[in-house]
Amino acid sequence: MTVYSSDGCQYCVRLKEWFRENNITYINRDINDERVLKEFKQFGIRAIPLLN
């Protein structure tokens, strides 16, 4: 599972904490990285966290 998120997003932080507590493996994609942001925008969704 891939999570598009930002460390400044309280919902993103809580989601990632929940994943860790429940031993759920995920790949974090930080939208503060320009390449990741471009990738994120292709989904046409404007809210994070985004699970893919």
* In a domain? residue 34: yes
Integer CA distances (angstroms), 49 to 39, 44, in order: 14, 13
* In a domain? residue 11: yes
The predicted model scores a pTM of 0.90
**How far is it, in rounded angstroms, from Cα 37 to Cα 20?**
24
Q: What pLDDT shows up at residue 8?
A: 95
Q: Domain span at residue 13?
A: 2-43
The 3 state secondary structure assigned to 2-17 is EEEECCCCHHHHHHHH
Q: DSSP letter for 32, please.
A: T
* In a domain? residue 22: yes
Q: Are 29 and 3 in contact (CB under 8 A)?
A: yes
Number of domains the chain contains: 1
Residue 4 neighbours by CB distance under 10 Å = 23
pLDDT per residue of the chain (52 residues) written in tens, 0 to 9: 999 999 999 999 999 999 999 999 999 999 999 999 999 999 999 999 999 9
* In a domain? residue 50: no
* In a domain? residue 51: no
Q: What pLDDT shows up at residue 32?
A: 97
* In a domain? residue 49: no
Q: What pLDDT shows up at residue 41?
A: 96
